[in-house]
Amino acid sequence: MKIDKILVAMDFSETSEAALAYAKELAVSLGASLHVAHVEDDPILNAETTDQSYRDEYAAKATLQMESLFDPQERTRLRAEFVVLKGDAIVEIVRYARQQEMGMIVMGTHGRTALAHMILGSVAENVVRTASCPVLTVRHPKHRFQAP
């Protein structure tokens, strides 16, 4: 099985930045392109009554923030693509991965307590259960991947 496209789910937390570091190294090792997706799941931002120019401005800012996590050489070498999706994070991550035929999804997991997990669930866990491709979860930034 060849993994030629990797999707990273980015929420701009330290954990998702650690996941991005793993994904960059994997992409280099595998010769894969890297897609970085941020999902805006705020019901107010996504409401039918929300002004489209506000949504466009949000998407532009999120894209610039994702792009800032790469230097120009990395963007070129990894054939990086950036996308802002709107809706439920679980649904949108899995849908994008399927539509774009991703070979792998890399995402952070925030390690909630058992009670919070029972009440809130886990985006990463649900993506693992529903994605049609392998999902690598990264738990904590201090365990960053180091290339040999």
Q: What is the domain count for the chain?
A: 1
Report pLDDT for 56.
Answer: 86
* Cα distance between residue 94 and residue 131, in whole Å: 5
Q: What is the number of alpha carbons within 13 Å of residue 94 lying toward its C-beta?
A: 14
Identify the domain containing residue 22 by its residue range: 6-141
Please state, in angstroms and rounded to a whole number, the distance separating the CA atoms of residues 9 and 69: 13
Please check whether residue 1 lies inside any domain of the structure. no
N-term to C-term CA, the chain: 23
pLDDT at residue number 87: 87
Q: Does residue 56 lie in a domain region?
A: yes
- CATH number for 24: 3.40.50.620
Asked if residue 95 is part of any domain, the answer here is yes
Give me the residues of the chain with pLDDT under 50, please: 113-120
* Residue 96 belongs to a domain: yes
Distance between CA atoms of 41 and 88, rounded to whole angstroms?
A: 5
Predicted local distance difference test score (pLDDT) of residue 20: 95
Does a structural domain hold residue 148? no
Rounded Cα gap, residues 130 and 121, in angstroms: 14
Predicted local confidence at residue 142, as pLDDT? 65
The answer to whether residue 22 sits within a structural domain is: yes
Helix axes 123-130 and 89-99, enclosed angle (nearest 10): 40
Tokens of 41: 């799941």
Interatomic CA distance for residues 54 and 11, integer angstroms = 19
What pLDDT does residue 15 have?
Answer: 87
In a domain, 88, yes or no: yes
